[in-house]
Amino acid sequence: MSIHHHHSADCGQTPVVLPLAVITVDSYGILTVTMDGTQYPPPSPTTPWSKARFADLIETLTPDRTRPIRVEVHEADGSTFTDTIHASHTPRAHPTR
């Protein structure tokens, strides 16, 4: 009895590849950020990303939370954690002013 494993390259689903933000924290709490391998500078060169501004950074990386992103944080002590920031289910609706 022989068993044949059939693997089709197209199984009807495209794998979802999320944008990847890599955040490296130095010993002073300053963050270096890349998005899909491209440097992601802070809005102002005189105000670097820092751990205190982490929420602002996430908000900037996920404008209006229209799509999920993966976030990988490398701490100065060598620890790493990964999280997925999910898109919110209700897009923001702002009336035009």
pLDDT in tens, 15-52: 678 999 999 999 999 999 999 999 999 988 899 999 99
| Type of residue found at 67 | R
| 3 belongs to a structural domain | no
| 60 belongs to a structural domain | yes
| Type of residue found at 93 | A
Q: Which of 86, 64, 69 is nearest to 23 (CA)?
A: 69
Give the total number of structural domains in the chain.
1
Determine the structural domain holding residue 29 and report its residue range: 20-85
| 11 belongs to a structural domain | no
Written as one string, the DSSP assignment of the chain is --------S--S-PPP---EEEEEE-TTSBEEEEETTEE---SBTTB--BGGGHHHHHHHHSGGG-S-EEEEEE-TTS-EEEEEEPPPSS-------
| 91 belongs to a structural domain | no
pTM of the model: 0.71
| 56 belongs to a structural domain | yes
| 1 belongs to a structural domain | no
